[in-house]
Amino acid sequence: MVKNTMFNMPEKKYRWILLITLALVYFFVYFHRVSSAVISKDLLYEFGVSALSLGLLSSMYFYTYSLFQIPVGIFTDTIGPRKTIAFLTIFSAVGSFLFGIALNFNMALGARLIIGVGVSGVWIPALKLFSRWYSKREYATMVGILLAVGNIGALSASYPLAIIVNDFGWRFAFYVISIISVFLAIISWVFIRDSPEYYLKKTGELKNATSNSNKQSISKNHFKLIFKNKDVWILSIWLFVVYGALLAYQGLWGYPYFRDVFNLPKATSGFILMFVSIGMLIGSPFVGYFSDKIMKSRKKVIIIWLGSFILPWIVISFFTAKINIGLLYLLSFWMGFFGCGNVVVFAIIKEQFPLEITGTVQSIVNVFPFVGAAFFQTFLGYILDLVGGTQGVYPVAAYSLAFKFVFAFVIAVFIMSFFVKETLTTD
């Protein structure tokens, strides 16, 4: 009955169903990405592990997510976006359930790994679906909407999750997410169709349809062109550092920093971290417009954005315990707003290569931000343990040293940004 109703629907109306379905699934991609911060103290207490181990647990998402980017691209091109999203969303459901029932740290680590695999299968298939279902003038708008929904998911993993964990416990939250994920896998299977050709054939509206999905071969010369381009490496490192730094703060260590240094309650800490997502929610569409219409430049914008991104790291690195609580809200918003220069980074990558290999280039570059997130979350945990703490509580000196480590990396990549080629022409 559902399928019959859907196939009798005009294509323009169906596209709204497609967008809503993808948005619902993508919501939990970002939710899982930053949820570890709010439940960090619960995990430290329940499993009795060190900060380094907690960093490894949180970063397992990013290791598996980044490793599965290329396989997900292959699945998308062979079995199709619909099957890829539905099958891998089941993986995330299983991972969420196993995380909720985890009897020990190793089981939680394995569950987090499974979650990373599951949520890795949404972004790339969604981009392919947008390219098939929407025109070039609609494509960027759809991607922007999807990113906005992702940041709403991140918002929900801060203050709202903190409230749920306070009232019902962290295990209950992941049981509920597991059930929701199963439901999302089902609706993905029911409502997503890989192309208008398939959909319109079912409605009887299309005659003599031809597929636009011609296979494109990638040669060794293409890969040489990619790997010999210095900007590919500079911008990959850019994403590694900036996204890694942002997720180290938002996704894990910002919350215990607020707790240990300022003695803030869980709900307040979650609310402060929510401002990172608010900053990204506003900053992501703005930075693209600023680059296209105001500055009419790519290179200048990534330099301005990264220069501004340095400021909150100066404050928390050198004035770690001397910050007004109200200023933490502004610093978090600022970090989110100026941490989304990746929108322009991907535009630079796209504009430097022939159309037939831009997907390959961007999939390679897209591995680096998640490896960066995994690296920074784990290494900051190592620094905290190096200084030492008591029963999961770390002193000001530990956080100050950890943040200075990030600050040094951000300064280095800021200098590298000046050597990137300008790609936005003024003609």
More confident residue, 247 or 285: 247
More confident residue, 52 or 237: 237
CATH at 57: 1.20.1250.20
Residue 358: what pLDDT?
61
Question: 178, 198, 218: which is the final residue of a domain?
Answer: 198
The arithmetic mean of pLDDT across residues 150-157, rounded, is: 81
Q: Is residue 70 part of a domain?
A: yes
The arithmetic mean of pLDDT across residues 314-342, rounded, is: 93
My answer on whether 165 and 257 are in the same domain is no
H-type helices in 35-135, by residue range? 40-47, 51-67, 69-78, 81-100, 105-119, 123-133
Residue 355: what pLDDT?
56
Which of these ranges, 202-206, 239-243, 313-317, 323-327, has the smallest mean pLDDT? 202-206
Residue 294: what pLDDT?
80
pLDDT tens-digit readout, 345-366: 877 876 787 756 666 677 778 8
Q: What single string gives the DSSP state of each residue in 253-298?
A: IHHHHHHHHH---HHHHHHHHHHHHHHHHHHHHHHHHIIIIIS--S
| Number of separate domains in the chain | 2
The arithmetic mean of pLDDT across residues 413-424, rounded, is: 90
My answer on whether 159 and 293 are in the same domain is no
As given in the structure block, the two tokens for residue 299 are: 């290179």
Is the pLDDT reported for residue 141 higher than 50?
A: yes
My answer on whether 158 and 254 are in the same domain is no
Top-confidence range, 39-53, 61-75, 90-104? 90-104
H-type helices in 169-229, by residue range? 170-191, 196-203, 220-227
Residues near 310 by Cβ (< 8 Å), separated by ≥ 6? Answer: 407, 410, 411, 414
The arithmetic mean of pLDDT across residues 70-78, rounded, is: 76
Give the residue numbers spanning the domain of 245.
Answer: 226-421
Tell me how far CA of residue 142 lies from CA of 52, 131, 177, in angstroms. Answer: 38, 10, 25
As given in the structure block, the two tokens for residue 52 are: 């380094």
Q: pLDDT-based confidence at 342, cuts 50/70/90? A: confident
Residue 55: what pLDDT?
78
Is the pLDDT reported for residue 204 higher than 50?
A: no
Residue 190: what pLDDT?
87
Is the pLDDT reported for residue 426 higher than 70?
A: no
Residue 79: what pLDDT?
80
Question: 162, 182, 198: which is the final residue of a domain?
Answer: 198
Residue 150: what pLDDT?
83
As a whole number of angstroms, the distance between CA 384 and CA 398 comes to: 5
As given in the structure block, the two tokens for residue 219 are: 């040669």
Radius of gyration of the chain (CA): 22
Is the pLDDT reported for residue 235 higher than 90?
A: yes
* CA 86 to chain CA centroid, nearest Å: 19
As a whole number of angstroms, the distance between CA 365 and CA 348 comes to: 12
Q: Is residue 209 part of a domain?
A: no
More confident residue, 355 or 299: 299
Q: Is residue 194 part of a domain?
A: yes
* CA 65 to chain CA centroid, nearest Å: 10
Which of these ranges, 226-230, 311-315, 363-367, has the smallest mean pLDDT? 363-367
More confident residue, 81 or 398: 398
Mean pLDDT of the chain: 82
Residue 208: what pLDDT?
41
pLDDT tens-digit readout, 265-293: 877 888 898 898 889 888 877 887 788 77
My answer on whether 255 and 373 are in the same domain is yes
Q: Is residue 3 part of a domain?
A: yes
Q: Is residue 9 part of a domain?
A: yes
Q: Is residue 185 part of a domain?
A: yes
More confident residue, 216 or 50: 50
Q: pLDDT-based confidence at 333, cuts 50/70/90? A: very high
Is the pLDDT reported for residue 186 higher than 80?
A: yes
Q: Is the pTM of this model over 0.85?
A: no
Which of these ranges, 302-311, 332-341, 370-379, has the smallest mean pLDDT? 370-379
More confident residue, 166 or 402: 402
My answer on whether 177 and 234 are in the same domain is no
My answer on whether 141 and 253 are in the same domain is no
pLDDT tens-digit readout, 4-61: 555 556 677 788 888 899 999 998 888 888 787 778 777 877 777 777 787 788 778 8
As a whole number of angstroms, the distance between CA 254 and CA 241 comes to: 17
As a whole number of angstroms, the distance between CA 208 and CA 245 comes to: 51
